[in-house]
């Protein structure tokens, strides 16, 4: 039944409560004076993050609507980048893009929020980056008349790998005019190709064009509905106040806190989020941050696709063969089931040793010209790299776990081929996941890296990495698994298979060889870990109960981690502990501190 149009007051209320701003002292104009925004001011360093959000004395600002045409600009970086040019594209350049905005109350709404916006302006040298804008704010500073301020979170991302720089941008506006755009990127998830870890900043020219007034109200309604669908969210300090003293000590560990980007805990349906520290103060919009979570994509794309297809067509889908849907690959893939590839047990990869008892899950992981495969832009080029550099192992599929990004990439291609076979050539497996799984649970946007095909067209979504979620997105996906694949009374994922995933009973031993084992699991086996359908399983014994659990864990390079607990909680940690110089210590060695904190809070 159609509930009718959403009242404007409800739109504004939904927006205001869903875009919290980190508290800070002082005013934005003190950190970034109006004069610096009205001229081409070459800043020597980033400014305090407080310049990009309203303070406690901010005044109401007039509504804003328009398209900002943002010129490409040089960025300063500290420290300097080691290899700034990748594939002819320069990571020192802020991309020339167009972004459209409107407002709901004091919330600045990017029309392209949650999208990987590519450079579209004619340039001599292309930028390496795309940008993802998120919800921001508008306000007035007492000394800025007749100008008002607008600021928004901005992620610097790319389509060749999966790290994100969390940034901020601001500009002044008045009737028909805008100032320069000032931007800075002050936090990041782990780098791979563009190193080292760095902060960057700069300013660039803007021009203002009219926005589409005809669609404005519909766009406001969509934005407000999106914000209203977010989980209830509270700052970490609220959880600390309501918890026993010391219960949450060590949360985020054993990772050294200097490498943590953001932490959160879902408890009783509420998302408690930490403060994201940066060298320039807390990041003002913690719930707007999007993260490059690397292999957490393996725990999202493939399981959601497989479990949705199993719900729609039947569990037989897991037993279809990769080689039947991906032409041009080794004949052994005609024996590799979808579930084998999802368990890193294809029996293919052919680098490293053939020793399997004990087995090393990462043996040969980055062999076979890995970087050439990883950076190959198109699907055809990636297939050529696999064919040229990898080979079959002597064991059967489904028996030995060897971590291979290529298996998950090929699984994504095979799933896409299957979806096309049953739904037609225009079908796309990631779009299916977005529309049939993520949208129903309130995940409105799911930006992800795709192959780059001829003419710049987007191709297949990577299933091995490439997702840029928010904390809210990760929490909702984890809760969908916790709820056995159901949401709002609708079974989105196959319930029995989702229960199997949660229990870990079908998981393969990382250190074992299934062809020579009888299926029993020793304490040493469990300590070595298990893997199934994109999930790692962490063995943990409750401190008070003495009961042993296998905790389903999403894990991505850089120490990104999402853990699902039998008490319904979900812990989230995004981090940047990769791409570091040799010998840098990232782990305190104090054991599973985050899991222990959750256990203290609500005993397992």
Q: Name the one residue in this structure whose structure tokens are 């008349």.
A: 145
pLDDT digits (tens, 9 = 90+) for 477-522: 999 999 999 999 999 999 999 999 999 989 999 999 988 766 678 8
Dihedral angle sign, alpha carbons of residues 369, 375, 381, 386: positive
Instruction: State the Cα–Cα distance between residues 344 and 256, nearest whole angstrom.
Output: 29
Q: Where are the beta strands (DSSP E) in 49-147?
A: 66-70, 73-74, 76-78, 85-86, 89-90, 93-94, 97-104, 107-110, 130-133, 136-139
Would you call 17 helix, strand, or coil by DSSP?
Answer: helix
> Which residues are CB-contacts of 151 (< 8 A; sequence separation ≥ 6)?
28, 51, 52, 53, 108, 136, 137, 138, 168, 169, 170
* 514 Cβ contact list (under 8 Å, min separation 6): 345, 398, 399, 400, 508
Average pLDDT, the chain: 94
Considering only CA atoms, give the Rg of the chain: 24
The whole model's pTM is what?
0.96
d(CA 303, CA 283): 32
The structure tokens 């031993």 sit at 509
DSSP category for residue 230: S
> DSSP assignment, residue 434?
I
SS3 content of the chain, % helix, strand, coil (to 5): 30, 25, 45
Residue 540's DSSP bridge partners are: 549
How is residue 237 annotated by DSSP? H
Percent of residues, the chain, with pLDDT higher than 70: 96
574, two tokens: 């995004």
> Which residues does residue 572 pair with via DSSP β-bridges, in sequence order?
264, 562
Give the number of other Cβ atoms within 10 Å of residue 192's Cβ: 20
CA dihedral 190, 192, 193, 196 (to 10 degrees): 50
Lowest-confidence segment of 142-146, 382-386, 469-473 by average pLDDT: 142-146
Side-chain-side CA neighbours of residue 351 (13 Å): 18
pLDDT of residue 10: 53
Tens digit of pLDDT for each residue in 427-475? 999 999 999 999 999 999 999 999 999 998 999 999 999 999 999 999 9
Q: Which of 294, 303, 382 is nearest to 339 (CA)?
A: 303
- 132 - beta bridge partners? 155
Mean predicted confidence (pLDDT) in 300-317: 98
Confidence band (pLDDT; 50, 70, 90) for 525?
confident
In sequence order, the 6+-apart residues with CB closer than 8 A to the CB of 68 are 98, 99, 100, 101, 171, 178, 181, 206, 207, 208
95/112 Cα distance (integer angstroms): 15
């Amino acid at each position: 039944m159609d509930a009718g149009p959403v009242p404007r007051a409800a739109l504004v209320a939904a927006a205001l409560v869903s875009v919290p701003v980190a508290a800070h002292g002082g005013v934005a104009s003190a950190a970034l004076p109006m004069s610096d925004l009205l001229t081409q001011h070459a800043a020597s360093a980033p400014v305090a993050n407080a310049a990009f959000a309203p303070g406690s004395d901010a005044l109401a600002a007039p509504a804003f609507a328009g398209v900002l045409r943002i010129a490409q600009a040089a960025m300063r970086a500290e420290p300097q980048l080691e290899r700034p040019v990748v594939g002819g594209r320069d990571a020192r350049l802020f991309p020339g893009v167009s972004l459209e905005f409107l407002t709901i109350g004091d919330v600045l709404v990017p029309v392209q929020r949650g999208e990987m916006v590519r450079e579209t302006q004619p340039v001599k040298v292309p930028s390496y980056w795309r940008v993802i804008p998120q919800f921001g704010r508008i306000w007035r500073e007492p000394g800025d008349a007749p100008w008002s301020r607008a600021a928004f979170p901005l992620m610097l991302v790319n389509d060749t790998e999966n790290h994100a720089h969390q940034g901020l941008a601001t500009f002044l506006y008045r009737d028909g005019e805008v100032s320069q755009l000032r931007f800075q990127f002050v936090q990041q998830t782990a780098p791979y190709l563009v190193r080292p870890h760095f902060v960057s900043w700069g300013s660039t020219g803007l021009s203002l064009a009219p926005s589409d007034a005809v669609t404005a109200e519909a766009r406001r309604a969509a934005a407000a509905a999106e914000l209203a669908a977010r989980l209830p969210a509270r700052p970490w300090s609220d959880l600390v106040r309501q918890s026993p003293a010391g219960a949450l000590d060590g949360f985020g560990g054993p990772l050294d806190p200097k490498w943590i980007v953001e932490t959160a805990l879902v408890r009783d349906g509420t998302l408690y989020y930490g403060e994201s520290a940066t060298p320039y103060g807390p990041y003002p919009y913690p719930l707007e941050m999007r993260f490059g979570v690397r292999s957490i994509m393996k725990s999202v794309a493939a399981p959601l696709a497989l479990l949705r297809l199993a719900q729609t067509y039947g569990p037989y889908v897991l037993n279809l063969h990769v080689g039947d849907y991906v032409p041009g690959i080794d004949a052994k893939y005609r024996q590799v089931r979808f579930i084998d590839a999802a368990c890193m047990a294809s029996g293919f990869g052919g680098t490293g040793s053939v020793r399997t008892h004990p087995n090393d899950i990462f043996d040969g992981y980055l062999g076979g010209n890995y970087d050439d495969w990883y950076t190959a832009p198109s699907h055809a080029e990636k297939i050529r790299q696999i064919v040229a550099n990898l080979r079959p192992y002597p064991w059967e599929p489904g028996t030995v776990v060897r971590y291979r990004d290529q298996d998950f990439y090929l699984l994504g291609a095979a799933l896409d081929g299957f979806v096309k076979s049953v739904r037609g050539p225009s079908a796309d497996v990631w779009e299916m996941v977005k529309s049939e799984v993520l949208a129903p649970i309130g995940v409105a946007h799911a930006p992800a890296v795709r192959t780059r095909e001829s003419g710049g067209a987007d191709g297949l979504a990577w299933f091995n990495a490439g997702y840029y979620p928010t904390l809210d997105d990760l929490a909702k996906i984890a809760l969908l698994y916790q709820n056995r694949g159901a949401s709002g009374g609708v079974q989105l994922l196959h319930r029995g298979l989702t229960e199997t995933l949660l229990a870990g009973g079908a998981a393969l031993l990382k250190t074992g060889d299934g062809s020579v084992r009888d299926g029993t699991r020793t304490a040493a086996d469990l300590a070595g870990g298990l893997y199934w359908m994109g999930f790692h399983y962490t063995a943990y014994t409750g401190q008070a109960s003495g009961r042993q659990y296998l905790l389903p864990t999403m894990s991505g390079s850089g120490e990104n981690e999402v853990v699902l607990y039998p008490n319904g909680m979900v812990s989230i940690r995004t981090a940047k502990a990769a791409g570091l110089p040799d010998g840098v210590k990232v782990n305190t060695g104090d054991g599973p501190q985050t899991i222990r904190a959750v256990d203290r809070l609500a005993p397992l």
